[in-house]
Structure 1
Amino acid sequence: MKEKLLTWLDRFLVADVFLVIIAFFWFAIALIGRSMGIPLGWDIWYQLWTPVFNPAIGILFTGALFSWLIKKIGQMTKQQ
């Protein structure tokens, strides 16, 4: 059961990493476009920052921490 949970957690974190990477590239492109006066989605990105991208970053770090912690506890119990 623990292995299955870890597998799904890792899969979810991989998908979340891709979401964060895509959001970063969108941010960079939209920021360059805004500085040049070209509308490349800055307003949409900014509206999505609080409800989508900010929690995605928090979930990524929290999930990575929990994944590491669960694996460390599993290693410690195997050694004893």
Structure 2
Amino acid sequence: MPAPEEPVWKRWLDRLLMLNVLLVFAGAGFFGVAVVAQTQGQPRPMDWFQQLWQPLFTPAISLLIMAALISGILSWWQRKGPMADRDSES
């Protein structure tokens, strides 16, 4: 039996979340480079990172955490559902 076709909105949401993870990883790498540059006496990369922190990286990290929590709660709910049905049948 073939797997059911997933909705178009879910594919786009998955792509958006993957881009978000990529942005968070790129931000972490940029932060690492900025810290190394700061220790070498070049403050400009850290200044750029600090300017991008509030408008770009904070929402991206928040979206990543929220998506992980919702995914975990939905997985827990789906696993718990059939177990509750089995308990009520006995």
Q: Shorter chain as normaliser: what TM range?
A: 0.7 to 0.9
Q: How many residues align?
A: 77
TM-score, normalised with respect to structure 1 = 0.74
d(CA) in 1 for partners of 2:45 and 2:36? Answer: 11
Indicate which of 31, 39, 55 corresponds to 2:35: 31
d(CA) in 2 for partners of 1:30 and 1:74? Answer: 43
Cα distance 1:67–1:11, how it changes in 2: closer, same or farther (>3 A)? Answer: farther
Higher relative contact order (CA 8 A, sep 6+): 1
Corresponding residue for 2:24?
20
**Structure 2 matches for 1:1-80, cutoff 5 A?**
4=7, 7-39=11-43, 41-77=45-81, 79=82, 80=85
**Structure 2 unmatched ranges of 5 or more:** 1-5, 86-90
Tell me the CA shift for residue 14 of structure 1. Answer: 2.0
**Structure 1 unmatched ranges of 5 or more:** none
Tell me the CA shift for residue 65 of structure 1. Answer: 0.8
Identity of paired residues, percent? 34
TM-score, normalised with respect to structure 2 = 0.67
Residues 29, 40 of structure 1: 8 Å contact kept: no
Cα-Cα RMSD: 2.3
